[in-house]
Structure 1
Amino acid sequence: MASVGKAMKVLEAFDKSASTLGLSDIAIRTGLGRSASQRFIYTLERLGYLDRDEQTKRYSLSRKVFRFAQNAVSANAGLDAAYPAMRELAERTRETISWVEVDGAEIVIIATVPSTHISSVNLPVGTRFPALSSSSGQMLLAHSAPSHVEKIWAISHPSVAQRTKAANAAEMVRILEAAKATGFAVTEKNMEQGSISVSAPVHDRAGRAIGAINLSTLTTRYDREAALRDLAPLVAQAALQTTEALVS
């Protein structure tokens, strides 16, 4: 079990900021040490999960790794049910539409229908954000027990408190309860351009919130008031349509 965990550490060392790494880089990022890192790199390369550039001697994730993502997506019943509603919502609004799931204190973009606008929010598959300060995360965690929200608050990035204006976990719980009662959440983010995110939850037969449909747009097209008026009802309807497809 320990060896499996260390091997995963090596694979997880590669990210957007470091798509190629040398042996020393991997040893530092994983904390495994140079000798142990070399052994795991050798095994993962032999298995086909790492590629080695013969000129630079640097490693990168191989295309074989995509099998995991492909299998996870193809077996995702929620996404399968949501995709027709996502496509319809994208065609109607021309905005970026995503299927989002929560992973601990973060949300993960599982699938995206890109916007047709020249200027839009780009959300590549695999992108992660702090859950409590994102509209999708708020909707998914709103259906969790307060004790779970408190745990997520404790391990969340400091930016969560700044963005949500919540002083403590109890206030965060109240924010989530309000979002749950509304049926959707709207958050704003200052990126290169200001953006607005609108999300609504999708439930399975047991009533669990298994994912969220998210619409992301720019504040140059919609301010918060316009997003609440024009976009939130459409996102909520898409999520309801998906839930009905799952439970029927």
Structure 2
Amino acid sequence: MSEASGKTVAADAGAKPKADPRESSLFVGSTEKTFQILHAFDGPHRQMPLSEIAKAANLDRSAAQRLVYTLEVLGYLRRVHGTRNYALTPKLLQFSYNYQRANELIEKAFPYLLDISRSVGETANLQELDGAEIVFVARFPGKHLVNIEFMVGSRLPAYYTASGTAILSRLSEEEREDILARTDLRPLTPFTICDPDRLRARVREAGEKGYALLTNEAVMGDISVGAAITDEHGRAVAGISISVPATRWTPEQVEQELARHVQVAAASISVHKFGSYSR
């Protein structure tokens, strides 16, 4: 072992583990529990009685009861008439509205998404990376009755989406590996690629092409092509994608006819907001 490598090993051995931010005196545990209550309604849980809310939130019944009562008084939960169930209220949408109004990226991307939707007649999406997932933050549906349905706020593993793959291609290898390590590599469809080496290769290919094309990976019948929006340093901050159903398009057609639209839009938004060029 060389002296340099020996020093590296010694430094690693002496490195202190990262402190859990939850152990800080600044961390308010009751606030976390409040969000656990709200997250209990994630997925298929549209309405639940108190006992199920407590179980889904991983809280004891007494704590859950106090938090549910508080959220009901504040207007974020409501009692479903004629039942013992609780449900979320429209008041929560105020946070989504405020986020969209305050997000300058959405404002800059708006005309480009609208132009794609009108010019090609298909659904255009703006997605941002959040942890190991991409989140749909803006969406312009196509003109057809049959579209791939994702609502604003929907989340998918970044490695399983076209826009996510494009975003990953413009991040550092260290960041990509960290996101891969935090990704639940379970298939969403029979065609989902879950092998880490194949996922890495796909990200590299997206970096070379300037876009990513995925078929049937997150949703059956979905073909998506995406490109990354980059900041002034060339680092991805978001992605733009077009989603089309396989009943109207083939992957070859999407690559030939739609890939350039996401590339041009991503590059234009990058220049408009950050003064950078995203190829």
TM-score (normalizing by structure 2): 0.82
Instruction: Determine whether 1:20 maps to 2:20.
Output: no
Output the CA distance in 2 between the equivalents of 1:69 and 1:25: 26
Q: Deviations over 1:130-163 (max 9, x none)?
A: 1101111111122222222222222322335985
Is 1:53 the counterpart of 2:45? The answer is no
Contact 1:132/1:160 (8 A) holds in 2? no
Structure of higher CA gyration radius: 2
Once the two structures are superposed, what CA deviation does each residue of 1:40-93 show, in whole Å capped at 9, x if it has no partner?
111111222111224212111122211111111111111111110110110111
- Deviation string for 1:98-151 (max 9, x for gaps)? 111111121111111011112221121111111101111111122222222222
Q: Secondary structure at the match of 2:199?
A: helix
Gaps of 5+ in 2: 1-27
Checking the alignment, whether the CA contact within 8 Å between 2:165 and 2:203 is kept in structure 1 is: yes
Closer, same or farther: CA 192–152 of 1 in aligned 2, 3 Å: closer
- 1:228 match: 255
Of the candidates 213, 229, 235, which is equivalent to residue 208 of structure 1? 235
Name the structure 2 match of 1:246. 273
Percent identity between the two aligned chains: 33
Give the secondary structure class of the aligned counterpart of 1:159.
Answer: coil
Match of 1:123 among 141, 150, 154: 150
1:167 aligns with 2:218: no
State the SS of the aligned residue for 1:57: coil
The worse-fitting range, judged by mean Cα deviation, of 145-154 and 99-108 is: 145-154
On the 8 A contact 1:186/1:228 being kept in 2, the answer is: yes
Distance 1:21 1:165, change over 3 A: closer
SS in structure 2 opposite 1:202?
A: strand
Equivalent residue for 2:64, pick from 13, 21, 37: 37
Is 1:95 matched with 2:122?
yes
1:68 aligns with 2:95: yes
SS in 2 for 1:150: helix
SS in 2 for 1:158: coil
Out of 101, 105, 117, the residue aligned to residue 78 of structure 1 is 105
- The size of the alignment, in residue pairs, is 247
Pair 1:176-2:183 in alignment: no
Q: Is the 8 A contact 1:90 1:96 kept in 2?
A: yes
Secondary structure of the structure 2 residue equivalent to 1:5? helix
Counterparts of residues 101-120 of structure 1 (less than 5 Å): 101-120=128-147
Q: Indicate the residue corresponding to 2:212 in structure 1.
A: 185
